Each structure stands twice: as C-alpha cells, then as structure tokens.
A and B are shown apart, each in its own frame.
Chain A
Amino acid sequence: MKKDIILAGVGGQGIVSIAATIGYAAVAENLFFKQSEVHGMSQRGGAVQSHFRLSDKEIFSDLIPLGKADIIISVEPMEALRYLPWLSKNGWLVTNTEPYINIPDYPSLDSIMTEFSKIQNVIALNADKIAKELKSSKSANMVVLGAASPYLDIKFEQLEKAIHTLFGRKGEKIVEDNIKALRAGKDYKP
C-alpha cells in the first residue's frame, strides 16, 4: 500500500488540520508516513502545500516526485491547479470550489472550472456551502477531506477517531461538528 497526497490551500485555511487527521489515522493503522509542511513567511495568506506520504514500507523522500501524487486535496480551487505537475495520470483531484480571493488578478471561477473539466478524475464541491448548511462554517476543510476519504485507503472510522484525538481538547461540540462535516463530504453526490 502506498499513497502520495498533496494538500493545498491558502495559509490559515486549515490544511494543517487535514494533515494531522490523516497523520493520526496513519499511525493507528501502523503505516509509515512522512509529512512535509510549510512554516514561516508563506503562512501569511500565501499559497501553502503539504506533501503527505503513506506506505506500508519505509518512505525515503519527504517530497513527492513530479507525476507521482495519487491525490490532490485542495481547500481552494485555484490552488488545486497549482500542483497539477505532481498529479499522476490516474490520480484524483478533490477540491473545494469556493474561491479565496486575496489577490487582484484572481481568475474567473468559470475558467477554473474549465480547467477542472480537462482532468480525468475530479471531485469539485462547494465545501464552504456544505459546512455552512451544517452550521459549522469552520469545518469546510473536513468536508473536503471527507470527499477525498474513499481514495485514501484508510478506514473511515480511523479518520473519525483521529478527529476525536485532534479536537478532543476543544470540546465535544467541535469534535461533532468536524465529524459531521467529514461525513457530509463523504456522502457528497455531484
């Protein structure tokens, strides 16, 4: 078993929480993993990514080679496209469609959707909208992770357990909100 995952978004959008959730689940499944993160200057509203590698064998490189990612999980639509050179031929792109516009030259959403239509395996969902409907607007990141969960080769219950571990300190309500968001993402039908 081997999964190479690229997590994408804008600093502050919660990709660290996605990474930590997969990380806890991977440890529970006794898998090897390596997760490379971005700290420092770029976290201030800039483009951020994390390379996440899971395997039942020892992993060497902290970085995924080009064209080898099995899945890109993005909490922002334009950011999803930034990492296409890493996506393998049969890989999946799972992305939020709600744009985060903090630059003057942000492209039109239609043009981004046109780019998505050129990719073989895409799940594009408005995770912000789904999270808002659940009255849990901060859990859009977990909606996206939920939508990606069928392609991760990790048992769904392990992801739920990981959310308990990660958010347990913050109280039962936050744990439940995040689990609801994760399930809503998994159950999403285009």
Chain B
Amino acid sequence: MMNLVLLGDEAIARGAIDAGLSGIYAYPGTPSTEITEYVQHSKEAKEGKVHYTWSANEKTAMESALGMSYAGKRAMCAMKHVGLNVAADVFMNSSITGVNGGFIVVSADDPSMHSSQNEQDSRYYGKFAFIPMLEPCNQQEAYDMMHYGFDFSEKFETPVLVRITTRLAHSRAGVTPKTKKEQNSVKVPDDLRRYVLIPANARKRYKILLEKQAGLETESENSVFNTYYDGKDKSLGIIVCGIAYNYLMENFENGIPYPVLKIGQYPLPRKKIEKIFNECNEILVLEDGYPFVEEMLNGFFGSEKKIRGRLDASLPRDGELNPDLVAKALNLNSSQGSAIPALVANRPPQLCDGCSHIDAYKALNEALKDYTPGRVLSDIGCYTLGALPPYETINSCVDMGASITMAKGAADAGLVPAVAVIGDSTFSHSGITGLLDCVNDKTPVTIFILDNGITAMTGGQFSPGHGKLEDICKGVGVEPEHIHVLNPLSRHHEENVKIIKQELEYNGVSVIIPRRICIVESRKMAKERKK
C-alpha cells in the first residue's frame, strides 16, 4: 500500500535519496524549489550526510554536481527551466565528458508561465546535448525514474535529464517507495583525461557521444516508461508524453479504443513510433510544452499522414494542457458549469503589507520624478511586482542579473542616469559580474540592491550573498563613498530620497542598498522565537 504522500517535486527528491544520492545542488526557482527543500528536511539525507545547501546559481550548482559525479558519487541538480539556460554551458559539455557517478539534472518547466518569464521546453536541451531524458506522468513514476535514472546514467556514463512541469511538481499523491540503496564510494574515473575537453580530446569524446546514441535509443525502445497499448479502432493513434497521459486517461473511464503510445523516455523509441504511425490512419500528439514530438513527426515538409496536435490547432499552440483541451482535441463532449460572473475582478499577486520594497519604491519614485520616465531596469524576484500599480517603478524583467547589465547598456547609449533594481539573492546569483563591467567602464548607473536578507519569492531560502553585499561591491571596485545602506521605512523617506537624488547625479557607479528583513520572514522568525 502507498505509504508516502508527496508532491511531484518531493517524489523526485525522495526517489533520489533512496537511490543512493550523495548530493543535491540547486538555486531556488518555482516550480523546482521543493526538490531541494525535501532533501534539506529529510532525516535519511541527514543521516547519509547528503550535501543539500543552496548554490549561488544554477551554473555553480550543476558544475558542483558534475564534480561530485566525477568523484564517483551519485549527484543531482535541480532547477526551473530558465535555470537550465544559466547552466547550459556545463550541461552541453557534460554529455561530452560523460559522467562517472550517476548524474541527474532535473528541469521543471512552467507551461502557462504560472511563475516564469517564458514557457521554454527543456526537451530541446536534452536533444541538443544528446542527453537522454525521462518525463514522468505522475508522482510514482517520478519516484521510480530516479532509481532507474541513476542506474541508467552509470551504465551509459551519461547525464540524464528529468523533465517535469509545474502541475506534477506541485501536485500531491500517494507514492510507494522502494528499498533504499547505499551511496557509492569515492572513485575517480578510470580514464583521467576523459574530462579534459581540449580540442584533440573533445573530438574523440564527441565521436564517443555520437556512437552512444544507438544504445540510448535501444534502451528507449525497451523501456518500461515507453509503453504501447493496442486499441481496436485504428482510425486514430495517440502519442502521449509525460503528464498529458493523465488528461487522456481522464477522458476514457472505460478504456481507450485507439492505440496509445505512452512516452516517458527519450530519445524517442523509433520502432514503436513507426508501429503506431503505420497502423493508424491519423496521429494525435499530446504533449505539455512545445510541439517537440509533433515537429519531429512532421519533419520539414510535413508528413504524408495527418499529424494532429498543437501545430494544426487541434490543441492550443501555447499554454498548459488540461483534461478539457484534450477532450476537445478528441471531439469528446465536455460539460461546463456556469460562466464566471462579470463582477469577478482580477486579483494579481502583490507586495505584502509592510514589505520593505514598498518603501524603497516610494523613495525611488520620488527621487526620479523630475526625470523622464523609463530609466529603471529591473530583475527577477518579489520586487518585480513593482511593475504593477500603484508603484509602476520598473521597466524590465528579462533574466537573472539583467538589471545591472541592461542599465549599463542603456547608460552607454546615453540614457543617464540609468537605474538598476536587483534583489540581494539575484545579485549574488548573476549580478556581480555585471557590476564589474560597470566599474571597469565607470558607467553612470545607480544600482539598487534591495536586501531583504533571503530569497523571498520562492519561499524564504538562504540568500548566497547574505551579509557580504557591501564587501562584494567594494571588492569589485565600487568607491566606498558611493555605497549607501538605507533603512527603507517611511520615517526615513526624506533622507533616503535625498541620498538617492545625490547618487543619480553622480557620474559613475553608485550602489544603494535598502536593507530590511522580508516581512514574511520576520513574522516566521518571531513565531520561532515564541516557541
């Protein structure tokens, strides 16, 4: 009987721990955060001395995990989909070095952009890097795939990418665990030049990677996660990937009349695809995210057989799938309750009452009111909500760290003063190198590091630069007289505005650090003290 109740994220974490994980490396990012948090709170992980502290960003995380794998142990790194962009350099090259201890990368995609700036599909990365992928449809598969994935990774000396989406990450269900495995012991690779990707060596390694592909495809062909279910009605064949399988099943309480190929492992099993393609008159592809499989089936010139999915408008081109959209694609009747009454207003997320960012934005808005608008380049975190009324302070949110460097480019173009607004955690993630560029060019930018002491948006995780911000800025070369720490409270408003105005006038790099603990965190701390 099922004896664990786990979020999809937690099932991945627990599966990894039970499969002999020695370390997880990650930077928080919705919807992946709870994977690392589960390891952090796990008694089993603590007993096994599994590494679990947060990394400065996804790149440092993945490199550390690769290093742990180099030393022979099973390692994992977890991130949201856009985090994989940050770690793309090491990801692409890790397939060429290959791995020693089992190495799993988890990327949590966010179709419908519940908490993200795009809905990129990580499966393209797997294909791009020649890295095999696993895509669970439910919490149990997520758990099981970690056991399978680590064995598979060691057998083929390859990284394995586990791709999930928000819906599975944040949905809870019962999971039956397997027997726990021991951790590997330290053992460096037999071939000590394998990881040295100088060109002469990299060319050899790349050929090895290409030769490996046939074996990976055979594994996919025989995998329990790629199952062919026969059906009598061959007018339609359904290829269904990951969580989309649940939406399909939801629509057929009494079994599906059509052949179904359920995909949970990539590269795609060519023979199984051929079978369903040849047997059926028409193919419907159900996949959450981009039309990854559908595009491959269509090829460049289109297929001689009708392929239905997101590209022919059987399903919407963007956004998350759900049981209703799948029903529509299958021409099934679906019901609907009454419409949402017109009086129901949108309720977007907003900064909490008492949030320090509110006071920082009020002061910045006032200091900027005599300048033309559109000067504030910002970043990713709770403070991004400053784009919305009533503040409407910031003019950009692109990728982690882009505030400082975009402000630099804007200032270089003549938009002076240009302002950057970045959080303390985002600054330590990807802001420091951009600051160095500004210092080297003595760019006229005023950089706000909104320091609330934690990584707030994802739920209050450790902020890697905590307690070190002024020293980092000084160390990078910002002149100490142009570094100001403000107390963002309404009673300090006037003096804060004065300092900001003065630094906006300065023809060089200024750093202003409004510092007050996140209000949610401060309440949590007060509760802890009460206990």
Contacts and interface: CB of A to CB of B under 8 A. Distances in A.
Given A32-B174, A103-B346, A62 B340 contact: no
Contact of A39 (B34, B168, B334, B351): B34
B412 interface: no
Interface stretch (B99-107, B246-254, B368-376, B507-515): B246-254
A40 B335 contact: no
Interface string B30-45: 1101100000000000
A103 B389 CA distance: 10
A34 interface: yes
B524 to A, nearest CB: 13
Given A67-B337, A105-B345, A44 B382 contact: yes
Interface stretch (B321-329, B417-425, B482-490): B321-329
A64 B334 CA distance: 12
A11 interface: yes
B347 A47 contact: yes
Interface in A29-75: 30, 32-47, 59-69
Contacts of B7: 37
A73 B49 CA distance: 43
B94 to A, nearest CB: 28
Nearest to B9: A39
Interface string B325-367: 0010000001111111101111111111000000000000000
B59 interface: no
B458 interface: yes
B167 interface: yes
**Interface residue SS majority, chain B:** loop
Contact of B340 (A59, A60, A65, A84): A84
B235 to A, nearest CB: 23
Interface in B231-250: 243, 245-247, 249-250
B457 interface: yes
A107 B341 CA distance: 11
Interface string A1-41: 00000000011000000000001000100101111111111
A60 B349 CA distance: 30
A185 interface: no
A60 B249 contact: yes
Interface of B: 1, 5, 7, 30-31, 33-34, 114-115, 167-168, 170-174, 243, 245-247, 249-250, 322-324, 327, 334-341, 343-352, 382, 385, 457-459
